Structure 1
């Protein structure tokens, strides 16, 4: 597939934002790395801010597309569907790890852009997670417990490795972009799903079930 001028600029911007930060990267830096005329950044994106927002929205649209594709696999049980979804989201972020880190860091801020992203994209993520969890509770695969807390756990487990890769590398010698990481991490998440979502209510703290 032919690489377009826009694609070249997006790829260059991702790498520069990753190494130099947003504020440390100029429009000229992006144009130079992409080997294009500096005026094309403004022509296609309206400037550096527009280019940055394009990267963020493209990533989140792809993230939601992955969720939708996995949730459309109706033949799977709720547990199988959830585990398949978690694996697919890890693979997507591994493939796009530079952008993933940038987006997850952006989402820790309080800005107009982030509020728009929350309303447009993260609310849909919450809705999709909620659907599969409610389905598992209806079928008896998952124990009934506070859904909001489950979603917080799931979102954190899926995004944390790509938000803080240096933390994992420096303290645990774990590289989130390596294939072995996904396999080991999925083993952990599968145990979490089985022991926390699927365990019997007798093993659950009564105070927690009452929430």
Structure 2
């Protein structure tokens, strides 16, 4: 692909992300993407094979580096790997906040492509996170508690980007800014430290108790 073709493809992709983010996947048409990107609709079919191809490209663009980050930490497995992975994932999402919010929002929809994502990327993510978590907490942690802890960690890492509008408008925090990933990452790291410090007793994961 020559420079002009690569530039056109990237422009289409970035335009689609911006429109998917504001109007949703279903609310965005090929015509709207073409008009906003100032290209012919045929270009979208040529580079992405239509709107479904653009959706698949979004998932690939997000999950390939996301999973690669976890794989790299597992390949160099150490006690600090889980903490490093958390920092890297936060910074990746901060740098790609529009894509991150769209992807996390889209995977809540039950569809064939999402089921494929669940059976490939998410199952791989689960395996890698558990490997890192076992290295972090030690072999004594019970499997059930480990699962709950990983669900909590995943929620911590994705929530600010899935709910970025809430974070900005209610709390006045900009999750797309690098300072947020750094400061929030330190808070996540402190939580992970508390888990490891209590690895012997392994307290129950933090659950809200109803006061009603």
TM-score, normalised by the number of residues in structure 2:
0.85
1:95-134 equivalences under 5 Å are: 95-134=95-134
Q: Which residue of 2 aligns with 1:12?
A: 15
User: Any unmatched runs of 5+ in structure 1?
Assistant: 206-211
- Quick check: 1:64–1:125 contact (8 Å CA) kept in 2? yes
Q: Which runs of 4+ in 1 moved over 4 A?
A: none
Q: Which structure is higher in RCO with an 8 Å CA cutoff and minimum separation 6?
A: 2
Q: Distance in 2 between matches of 1:203 and 1:66?
A: 27
CA contact (8 A) 1:70 1:81 kept: yes
Cα distance, 1:127 vs. partner? 0.5
1:183: Cα distance to partner? 2.3
Deviation at 1:114, TM superposition (A): 1.1
Q: Equivalent residues in 2 for 1:44-193 (5 A)?
A: 44-74=47-77, 77-78=78-79, 80-138=80-138, 144-145=141-142, 146-193=145-192
Taking the aligned partners of 1:21 and 1:136, their CA distance within structure 2 comes to 38
Shift of 1:44: 2.0
Equivalent-residue separation in structure 2 for 1:203 and 1:147 (angstroms):
10
Shift of 1:202: 4.2
The DSSP-based 3-state class of the residue aligned with 2:28 is coil
State the TM-score, normalized to the length of structure 1: 0.86
**Once the two structures are superposed, what CA deviation does each residue of 1:142-195 show, in whole Å capped at 9, x if it has no partner?**
x51321111101111111111000111122111111122122212211211111
